[in-house]
């Protein structure tokens, strides 16, 4: 890298990333040779839209945005090959601040077994982080593929990120467990690969919320997804937060986005066995929350009757 303020910043970033980066500063990132299908996904996190600077440290902002992008690789059963990150930041952002932001991106990359391979830096009106993730999958799993009769399952517990978000918005400190789910979601890479190899018919990651994401699965697969809200496994901090705001915990959790767990359709015949093997392999629950039927859309059921629910929509 030659002289100049931009390159000084990139040097500071490279130093902060250390072993979490590889090959920074060239015209192109090299991702190596790969078997299988190459897959890619990109995800933008914008200040005032996705986060506020006073909620999170810069390191957490970098971590969260990169983990969210990597979660899309998990959702198709892919293994990451690398991450490139485009950053726009106000002119007064220091080298140190950018290095902190990118160290967070490096933390997320490391947690997914990969490295930062490059990126781009620009001046902008507010902070904007756009990680692009590239991976490879033997057989990428899509949102389409669920059939009538399939069970719909989710990994882990949900609602933790929403509990943190509601607390941030109310200007109170979130419970530590919920805060962790919001600031440092763990992309379920190993789980996604395992599910892809063990019968996942359709899969996606929970970014918009259980009900909204079930609607995506339904639309892509051409089925109706019936969700039994009582079956949703709720993060303990989300139960607490829901009770504080006088909401039903399962409904609170069902409407919460950004948990980055996986939703997967499995055949009726194999679902129970696959779930037991999954739990043994990953030490994480796989819980049945619904069933696919002939039809369209999502049917959220609560205590025997249908509920009208809105999911999370960036444009509402």
Residues that bind Mg ion (CB under 5 A): 72, 75, 205, 207
Q: Which is nearer to Mg ion, 78 or 289 (CB)?
A: 78
Q: Which is nearer to Mg ion, 100 or 205 (CB)?
A: 205
- The neighbouring-strand residues paired with 274 are none
Q: Which is nearer to Mg ion, 12 or 75 (CB)?
A: 75
Q: Which is nearer to Mg ion, 76 or 98 (CB)?
A: 76
Q: Which is nearer to Mg ion, 205 or 258 (CB)?
A: 205
CB of 77 to Mg ion, least distance (A): 13
CB of 48 to Mg ion, least distance (A): 22
CB of 207 to Mg ion, least distance (A): 5
CB of 72 to Mg ion, least distance (A): 4
Q: Which is nearer to Mg ion, 207 or 221 (CB)?
A: 207
| CA distances from residue 4 to 9, 10, 11, 117 in whole angstroms, order as listed | 9, 10, 10, 21
CB of 204 to Mg ion, least distance (A): 6
CB of 75 to Mg ion, least distance (A): 5
């Amino acid at each position: 890298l030659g002289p100049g303020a931009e390159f000084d910043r990139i040097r500071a970033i490279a130093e902060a990333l250390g072993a979490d980066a590889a090959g920074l500063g060239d015209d192109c990132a090299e991702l190596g040779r790969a078997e299988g299908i190459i897959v890619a996904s990109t995800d933008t996190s914008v200040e005032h839209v996705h986060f506020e600077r006073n909620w999170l440290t810069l390191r957490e902002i970098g971590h969260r945005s990169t983990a969210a992008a990597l979660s899309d690789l998990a959702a198709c059963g892919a293994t990451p090959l690398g991450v490139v990150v485009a950053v726009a930041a106000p002119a007064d952002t220091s080298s140190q601040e950018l290095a902190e932001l990118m160290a967070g991106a490096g933390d997320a990359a490391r947690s997914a077994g990969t490295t930062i391979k490059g990126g781009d830096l620009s001046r902008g009106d507010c902070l904007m982080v756009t990680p692009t993730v590239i991976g490879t999958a033997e057989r990428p799993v899509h949102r389409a593929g669920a059939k009538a009769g399939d069970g719909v399952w989710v990994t882990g517990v949900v609602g933790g990120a929403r509990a943190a978000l509601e607390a941030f918005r109310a200007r109170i400190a979130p419970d530590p467990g919920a805060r962790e789910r919001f600031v440092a979601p763990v992309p379920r890479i190993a789980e996604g690969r395992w599910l892809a190899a063990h019968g996942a018919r359709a899969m996606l990651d929970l970014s918009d919320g259980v009900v909204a994401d079930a609607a995506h699965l339904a639309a892509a697969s051409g089925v109706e997804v019936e969700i039994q809200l009582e079956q949703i496994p709720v993060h303990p901090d989300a139960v607490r937060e829901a009770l504080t705001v006088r909401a039903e915990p399962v409904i609170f959790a069902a409407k919460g986005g950004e948990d980055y767990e996986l939703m997967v359709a499995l055949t009726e015949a194999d679902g129970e066995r696959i779930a037991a093997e999954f739990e043994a392999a990953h030490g994480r629950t796989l819980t049945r929350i619904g069933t696919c039927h002939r039809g369209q859309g999502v049917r959220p059921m609560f205590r025997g009757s249908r509920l009208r629910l809105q999911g999370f929509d960036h444009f509402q």
